Amino acid sequence: MAQYTRVSGSVGLITLQSPPVNALSAAVRQGIVDLMQRALSEPEVKSVVICGQNGIFCGGADIKEFGGQMSGPPLIPMIHAIEAASKPVVAAIEGIALGGGLELALGCHYRIAHSKARVGLPEVTLGLLPGAGGSQRLPRLIGVPAALDLITTGRHVTAAEALKFGLVDQITDHNTVNVAVKFAQRVADQPLDARRISTHPCLCPSDVAVLFEEVMQRVRRTARGAIAPIACVQAVRAAATLPYNQGMERERELMATLFTSGQARALQYFFFAQRAVGRWSMPSGARWDTSKPRPVHKAAVIGLGTMGRGITVALAQAGFSVVAVETQEKQLMEAKQAISGMLERGAKRRGVAPALDKINYGRNIQSVADVDLVIEAVFEDMALKKKVFQQLSAVCKPSTFLCSNTSGLDIDQLACQTRNPELVVGMHFFAPAHVMKLLEVVYGPKSSPLAVATAMQLGKKIGKVSVAVGNCRGFVGNRMLKPYLEQALFLLEEGATPEFVDQVLEEFGFAMGVFRMSDLSGLDVGWKVRLADGLAMPDPTMGQPTRLRQGRRYSPLGDLLCEQGRFGQKTGRGWYQYDKPGSQVAKPDPWLHSFLDEYRARHALVAHRIDHQEVLERCLYSMINEGFRILEDGIAAGPEDIDVIYVFGYSWPRHRGGPMFYAATVGLNKVLERLEHYYQAHPDVPSLQPCHLLRKLVASGSPPIQKWREVIKKVRSQL
Ligand SMILES: CCCCCCCCCCCCC[C@H](O)CC(=O)SCCNC(=O)CCNC(=O)[C@H](O)C(C)(C)COP(=O)(O)OP(=O)(O)OC[C@H]1O[C@@H](n2cnc3c(N)ncnc32)[C@H](O)[C@@H]1OP(=O)(O)O
* DSSP track, 21-82: TT-B-HHHHHHHHHHHHHHHH-TT--EEEEEEGGG--B--B-GGGGGS---SS-HHHHHHHH
Section 332-357 average pLDDT = 96
272 C-alpha to ligand 1 centroid (Å): 9
59 C-alpha to ligand 1 centroid (Å): 6
pLDDT in tens, 587-627: 999 999 999 999 999 999 999 999 999 999 999 999 999 99
Nearest CA residue ID for atom 55, ligand 1: 62
What's the pLDDT at 529? 86
120 C-alpha to ligand 1 centroid (Å): 12
What's the pLDDT at 550? 80
Residue 388 CA to residue 396 CA, distance in Å, equals: 12
What are the b/e assignments for 676-705, b being 16+ CB within 10 Å?
A: eebbeebeebebbbbbebbbbbbeeebeeb
What's the pLDDT at 539? 57
What's the pLDDT at 718? 79
418 C-alpha to ligand 1 centroid (Å): 45
- Burial class of residue 200 in the structure, from the number of CB atoms within 10 Å of its CB (0-12 exposed, 13-18 middle, 19+ buried): middle
Q: In whole angstroms, how far apart are CA 650 and each of 167, 477, 710?
A: 37, 8, 27
Q: Which of 620, 639, 635 is nearest to 697 (CA)?
A: 639
Which amino acid, 302?
I
List Cβ neighbours of 77 (8 Å cut-off, separation of 6 or more): none
User: Atom of ligand 1 at shortest distance to CA of 126?
Assistant: 24
Residue 242 CA to residue 484 CA, distance in Å, equals: 48
CA 55 to mean position of chain CA atoms: 27
Tell me how many degrees the CA angle 337-341-346 measures, rounded to the nearest 5.
150
Nearest CA residue ID for atom 46, ligand 1: 20
By DSSP bridging, strand 401-404 and strand 321-325 are unpaired
Q: Greatest CA separation found in the chain?
A: 97
User: Atom of ligand 1 at shortest distance to CA of 63?
Assistant: 55
Helix (H, G, I), strand (E, B) or coil at 6: strand
What's the alpha-carbon Rg for the chain, to the nearest Å?
28
pLDDT in tens, 58-117: 999 999 999 888 899 999 999 999 999 999 999 999 999 999 999 999 999 999 999 999
- pLDDT above 60: residue 129: yes
Ligand 1 lining (C-beta closer than 6 Å): 20-21, 23, 59-64, 75, 96, 98-100, 103, 122-123, 126, 128, 130-132, 134, 255-256, 259-260, 272, 275
Which range is least confidently modeled, 86-100, 298-312, 543-557, 639-653? 543-557
What's the pLDDT at 12? 98
Section 204-225 average pLDDT = 94
185 phi/psi in degrees, rounded to 5: -65, -40
Nearest CA residue ID for atom 15, ligand 1: 130
Residue 454 CA to residue 468 CA, distance in Å, equals: 11
Tell me the β-bridge partners of 439. Answer: 429, 466
Arithmetic mean of pLDDT over the chain = 96
61 C-alpha to ligand 1 centroid (Å): 6
Residue 179 CA to residue 16 CA, distance in Å, equals: 18
- pLDDT above 60: residue 314: yes
Banded model confidence at residue 308, pLDDT cuts 50, 70, 90: very high
- In CATH terms, are 298-473 and 496-504+513-602 the same topology? no
Nearest CA residue ID for atom 61, ligand 1: 275
259 C-alpha to ligand 1 centroid (Å): 14
What's the pLDDT at 532? 85
What's the pLDDT at 551? 83
Q: State what percent of residues in the chain have pLDDT above 90.
A: 94
- Topology at the third CATH level for domain 612-718: N-(1-d-carboxylethyl)-l-norvaline Dehydrogenase; domain 2 (1.10.1040)
CATH of domain 298-473: 3.40.50.720
The residue extents of the domains of the chain are: 2-125+132-201, 298-473, 496-504+513-602, 612-718
| pTM of the predicted structure, to 2 decimals | 0.95
What are the b/e assignments for 135-150, b being 16+ CB within 10 Å?
A: bbbbbbbbbbebbbeb
Q: In whole angstroms, how far apart are CA 398 and each of 297, 422, 475, 567?
A: 16, 11, 27, 42
Residue 333 CA to residue 145 CA, distance in Å, equals: 45
ipTM score of complex:
0.98
Section 631-638 average pLDDT = 96
Which amino acid, 194?
A
Banded model confidence at residue 128, pLDDT cuts 50, 70, 90: very high
User: Atom of ligand 1 at shortest distance to CA of 278?
Assistant: 65
- pLDDT above 80: residue 545: no
What DSSP state is assigned to residue 404?
E
Q: What is the DSSP string of 416-447?
A: TTSS-GGGEEEEEE-SSTTT--EEEEEE-TT-
Residue 473 CA to residue 406 CA, distance in Å, equals: 10
CATH architecture entry for 496-504+513-602: Orthogonal Bundle (1.10)
pLDDT in tens, 131-168: 999 999 999 999 999 999 999 999 999 999 999 999 99
CATH of domain 2-125+132-201: 3.90.226.10
Residue 430 CA to residue 438 CA, distance in Å, equals: 7
100 C-alpha to ligand 1 centroid (Å): 9
Give me the helix-helix angle, 708-718 and 692-699, nearest 10°: 120
Q: Give catalytic residues, as residue numbers.
A: 103, 123
- pLDDT above 90: residue 261: yes
What's the pLDDT at 538? 60
Question: Ligand 1 pocket check: which of 63, 118, 135 to mutate, most ligand atoms within 8 Å of Cβ?
Answer: 63
Banded model confidence at residue 537, pLDDT cuts 50, 70, 90: confident
What's the pLDDT at 199? 97
- pLDDT above 80: residue 546: no
Banded model confidence at residue 542, pLDDT cuts 50, 70, 90: low
What's the pLDDT at 544? 60
Which range is least confidently modeled, 10-24, 37-51, 550-564? 550-564
Tell whether omega for the bond before 191 is within 30 degrees of 0, i.e. cis: no
Q: Do residues 630 and 663 lie in contact, with contact meaning Cβ atoms separated by under 8 Å? A: no
pLDDT in tens, 642-682: 999 999 999 999 999 999 999 999 999 999 999 999 999 99
Q: State what percent of residues in the chain have pLDDT above 70.
A: 99
By DSSP bridging, strand 298-302 and strand 157-158 are unpaired
Question: Ligand 1 pocket check: which of 21, 57, 274, 706 to mutate, most ligand atoms within 8 Å of Cβ?
Answer: 21
What's the pLDDT at 536? 84
Nearest CA residue ID for atom 3, ligand 1: 256
By DSSP bridging, strand 47-52 and strand 89-93 are parallel
Q: Which of 269, 249, 296, 282 is nearest to 399 (CA)?
A: 296
Section 252-258 average pLDDT = 98
Q: Do residues 388 and 413 lie in contact, with contact meaning Cβ atoms separated by under 8 Å? A: no
Nearest CA residue ID for atom 4, ligand 1: 256
